[in-house]
């Protein structure tokens, strides 16, 4: 995720990190070259028909509305994912406190808290499709090779709590509170997996890109006569707006990736490590810092 203060006018004009420009620039250049070719054919051979601009106005408004709808849908996914990870962070902090409150055995306390951290890192690696994530494997060990790795630490926590309850080392109220906390963590986990495995309908992307390219390819027919060789510039601006917005929504609709606009899952996991370090009797690690404005 890009983390930076409000940019100056110079940064606003020339910033590339976190911008969508690198993703859409080649296509914008091609569309501008096509617009230039259209103007050349119009001026030299009169081979290009001129179309009234009113139709393009209506077309552009309709396309803008649909892009706005898709952008809202993508942002809702991104924001829901952020809330779910915020809930997971809160649940891990509460779980550590409840473990220390209800479980008397200090060794078992530490084991349960470390397992909860292993779950969080395995969940991050699973969402990002990182089968060999070093931090997750260091905390989880052989659990990283389970059929569904994030569930393995939760299953082990449940087993340890069950043994403690059977042995009388954990009372019924504590067992109930901790099991409810685990259920809430599982609910947050399932919500993230639902977002990760259910993309925006493909037909949305298909319709958006088809209509955007159609609009940008037809636009020179309306501009070649009135504005002449300024047509490529106007086509480039329109293509930047429409294609850029389409790419932004594509980016936001995958909130768990490693793109500049994805969620900072590494930083959230580090925040959990910092919060749980006092419960483990360890020195808290340093929080992750943004590198070149990017927080992973």
Q: How far apart are CA 156 and CA 159, in angstroms?
A: 5
pLDDT in tens, 209-230: 888 889 888 888 888 888 889 9
pLDDT band at 9 (very low <50, low <70, confident <90, very high): low
Tell me the two tokens of residue 295: 């927080």
DSSP state of 33: H
pLDDT band at 293 (very low <50, low <70, confident <90, very high): low
**Is pLDDT above 70 for 40?**
yes
Whether the Cβ atoms of residue 101 and residue 260 lie closer than 8 Å to each other: no
Q: Give me the residue spans of the domains in the chain.
A: 9-280
Q: What is the pLDDT of residue 131?
A: 83
Q: What is the pLDDT of residue 150?
A: 94
- For the entire predicted model, the pTM comes to 0.88
Q: How far apart are CA 235 and CA 211, in angstroms?
A: 15
What residue spans of 228-264 are helical by DSSP H?
Answer: 231-252
pLDDT in tens, 53-76: 777 777 777 788 888 888 888 899
Q: What is the pLDDT of residue 7?
A: 64
Percent with pLDDT over 70 in the chain: 92
**Is pLDDT above 90 for 188?**
yes
Element of type H or E holding 26: helix 21-45
Q: What is the pLDDT of residue 10?
A: 65
**Is pLDDT above 70 for 8?**
no
pLDDT in tens, 112-157: 999 999 999 999 999 999 888 888 888 888 998 999 999 999 999 9
Q: Of 279, 256, 296, nearest to 112 (Cα)?
A: 279
């Amino acid at each position: 995720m890009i983390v930076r203060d409000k940019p100056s006018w110079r940064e606003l004009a020339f910033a590339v990190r976190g911008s969508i420009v690198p993703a859409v620039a080649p296509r914008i250049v091609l569309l501008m070259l096509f617009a230039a070719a259209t103007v050349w054919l119009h001026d030299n051979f009169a081979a290009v028909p001129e179309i009234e601009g009113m139709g393009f106005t209506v077309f552009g408004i309709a396309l803008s509305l649909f892009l706005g709808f898709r952008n809202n849908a993508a942002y809702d996914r991104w924001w829901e994912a952020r809330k779910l990870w915020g809930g997971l962070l809160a649940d891990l902090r509460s779980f550590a406190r409840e473990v220390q409150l209800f479980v008397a055995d200090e060794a078992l306390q530490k084991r349960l808290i470390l397992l909860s951290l292993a779950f969080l890192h395995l969940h991050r690696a699973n969402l990002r499709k990182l089968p060999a994530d070093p931090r997750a494997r260091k905390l989880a060990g052989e659990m990283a090779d389970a059929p569904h790795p994030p569930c393995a630490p939760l299953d082990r926590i449940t087993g340890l709590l069950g043994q403690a309850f059977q042995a009388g080392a954990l009372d019924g109220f504590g067992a109930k509170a901790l099991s409810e906390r685990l259920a809430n963590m599982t609910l947050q986990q399932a919500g993230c997996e639902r977002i990760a495995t259910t993309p925006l309908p493909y037909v949305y992307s298909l319709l958006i890109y088809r209509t955007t390219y159609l609009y940008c390819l037809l636009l020179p027919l309306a501009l070649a006569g009135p504005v002449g060789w300024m047509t490529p510039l106007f086509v480039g601006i329109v293509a930047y707006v429409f294609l850029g917005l389409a790419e932004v929504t594509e980016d936001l609709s995958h909130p768990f990736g490693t793109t500049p606009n994805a969620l900072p899952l590494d930083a959230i996991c580090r925040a959990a490590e910092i919060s749980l370090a006092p419960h483990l009797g360890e020195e808290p690690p340093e929080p992750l810092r943004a590198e070149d404005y990017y927080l992973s």
